[in-house]
A and B are shown apart, each in its own frame.
Chain A
Amino acid sequence: MPEVWDSLLRDLPTEDVPVDLTARVRAHLASARRREARMRIAVWTGMLALGVVSGAVLWPALVSLLESLVRGFPQTAAPAVAGLWQAPGTTLWELAQSILGWGGQVSLGLGASGMIALMFLAVLAILGLTWTLGGRTEEASA
């Protein structure tokens, strides 16, 4: 490329930079940061409220879950685990069956309200994950 073109194009005149542009950009950013902070507070407040509500719903189910675990494990899975320790090859299938049975007991122990609360928490987790990934995608595409 000829130097004269390069030199001409490097120093093309432009309008003066508006004197208040930097101040306006800063004000715009400050406003965006306030919005961002308000949004963050709203999201955390919402999550906290949902956590409290779901905790209240889940509490009885959590208690029964713990009971199931404590009572069910020694009755069903524990002998199989002990058997596995003694003769690994023969009791592997037995162990799987026991754990399945134990899982069944746990789900029965949770009851309907517990299962609903668990599903509710799963939805919350998916929403949280989507929100996080969405924020990262927005950052990447900027």
Chain B
Amino acid sequence: MYPEEPELLRLAQAGVPEAFDRLVERLTPGLYRMIRRMMPDRAEAEAVVQETWLRAWKARRGLEPSRPAFPWLARIAANAARDYWRKRRPIDFADVESQADDLADVAAGPELRLEMDEARRRMAALVENLRPEWRMILALRYDGNLSYKEIADALSVPLNTVRTHLRRALLALRSALEADDA
């Protein structure tokens, strides 16, 4: 998604400010969109973006020039967002795999009667009311375009927990849509 040149990443990793700033220019818009989905308002999202870049600068040696930078940055952003949420309420990514069997099949979702744009607008508003854990996973998956494995790495949780939380988030969204329609 974000094919940065290995040379740029190598220079950024070495702490060359110009190279790192170039990375900031390239990745900040996508990073903001992902973090904004996780955070309750614009000001908090901006603060977390700044905190993410600050942590990224300190942890720049962990950047791997041979791999895309965004998943690495997303992991730092997830930690920063999680730290923010922890200040407000406990955040829990405890493994809920055992409960997964009870979930209804998401594929049996409601028919979307509205036009796609309208549906997206409604969906975006509904996502804002989800639990922080689910918002984070949705943001990493759909705004950050991370794979399940990358999300699991970013959140330091098992792969099955990611699947289960994602499934639960979608179920919650479906319920919210149905309630909205009623």
A134, B100: Cα distance in complex, Å:
40
A138, B58: Cα distance in complex, Å:
8
Say yes or no: A21 contacts B32, CB within 8 Å. Answer: yes
Say yes or no: B36 contacts A139, CB within 8 Å. Answer: no
Say yes or no: B106 contacts A11, CB within 8 Å. Answer: no
Which residues on the B side are within 8 Å of A29 (C-beta)?
17, 20-21, 24, 53-54, 57
Say yes or no: B33 contacts A32, CB within 8 Å. Answer: no
Say yes or no: B50 contacts A5, CB within 8 Å. Answer: no
Say yes or no: A5 contacts B170, CB within 8 Å. Answer: yes
Which residues on the B side are within 8 Å of A142 (C-beta)?
55-56, 58-59, 62, 76, 79
Tell me, yes or no, whether B138 is within 8 Å of chain A by CB.
yes
> Across the two chains, which residue of chain A brings its CB closest to B36?
A14
A14, B39: Cα distance in complex, Å:
12
Which residues on the A side are within 8 Å of B120 (C-beta)?
8, 11-13
- Interface residue range, chain A: 20 to 34
A26, B19: Cα distance in complex, Å:
12
Tell me, yes or no, whether A38 is within 8 Å of chain B by CB.
no
Distance in Å: Cβ of B38 to nearest Cβ of chain A: 11
Distance in Å: Cβ of B24 to nearest Cβ of chain A: 5
Say yes or no: B21 contacts A26, CB within 8 Å. Answer: yes
- Interface residue range, chain B: 35 or more
> Across the two chains, which residue of chain A brings its CB closest to B17?
A33
Question: Secondary structure of the B side of the interface?
Answer: helix
Say yes or no: A24 contacts B50, CB within 8 Å. Answer: yes
Stretch of B3-11, B87-95, B121-129 on the interface side: B121-129
Say yes or no: B33 contacts A17, CB within 8 Å. Answer: yes
Q: Mark A1-22, 1 if CB is under 8 A from B, else 0.
A: 1101101111111110110011
Say yes or no: B143 contacts A14, CB within 8 Å. Answer: yes
Tell me, yes or no, whether A25 is within 8 Å of chain B by CB.
yes
Tell me, yes or no, whether B151 is within 8 Å of chain A by CB.
no
> Across the two chains, which residue of chain B brings its CB closest to A10?
B142
A95, B152: Cα distance in complex, Å:
60
Say yes or no: B17 contacts A8, CB within 8 Å. Answer: no
Tell me, yes or no, whether B102 is within 8 Å of chain A by CB.
no
A140, B62: Cα distance in complex, Å:
8
* 6 closest A-B pairs by CB: A142-B59, A142-B55, A9-B142, A12-B124, A17-B29, A22-B28
Q: List residues of A whose CB falls within 8 A of some B CB.
A: 1-2, 4-5, 7-15, 17-18, 21-22, 24-26, 28-30, 32-33, 138-140, 142
Q: List residues of B whose CB falls within 8 A of some A CB.
A: 17, 20-21, 24-25, 28-29, 32-33, 36-37, 42, 46, 49-50, 53-59, 61-62, 76, 79, 106-107, 109, 112, 116, 119-121, 123-124, 127, 138, 141-143, 170
